[in-house]
């Protein structure tokens, strides 16, 4: 592996480790637990399995068909990098300057996550 930059020569194990650290799986546990706190244990397990299944299918779809889809849409990796940077700037600005109308509202949607 060439530092922490993914290359074509990455093994499956290296890819899994890379994704694990990028997604910060351990750091997301408290967020996930707080979102599911109001549901019974049985319902929590059902929601977790559903979400993991959806994530697996999305991951596999992009692993097998992502490059072809991007080529068909004529999207380059540079374009994705620029778009990601713009999204990070927007998120950072929203964190620095929060809108007051959203700060005072609690969970308006009573549906499951």
- Percent of the chain with pLDDT strictly greater than 70: 81
Q: Is 0.75 surpassed by the pTM of this model?
A: no
CA dist 108 and 113 (Å) reads 12
- pLDDT digits 0-9 by tens, 43-70: 999 999 999 899 889 988 988 898 899 9
The secondary structure of the chain in percent helix, strand, coil, rounded to multiples of 5, reads: 70, 0, 25
* The two three-digit tokens of residue 55, written as one number: 């994530």
**Which residues are CB-contacts of 36 (< 8 A; sequence separation ≥ 6)?**
44, 47, 48, 113
């Amino acid at each position: 592996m060439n530092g922490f930059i993914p290359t074509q020569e990455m093994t499956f194990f290296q890819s899994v480790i890379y994704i694990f650290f990028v997604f910060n799986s351990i750091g997301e546990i408290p967020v996930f637990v707080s979102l599911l706190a109001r549901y019974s244990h049985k319902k929590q397990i059902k929601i977790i399995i559903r979400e993991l299944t959806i994530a697996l299918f999305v991951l596999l779809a992009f692993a097998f068909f992502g490059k072809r889809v991007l080529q068909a849409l004529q999207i380059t990796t540079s374009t994705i990098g620029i778009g990601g940077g713009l999204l990070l700037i927007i998120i950072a600005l929203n964190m620095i300057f929060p809108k007051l109308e959203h700060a005072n509202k609690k969970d308006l949607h009573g549906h499951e996550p």
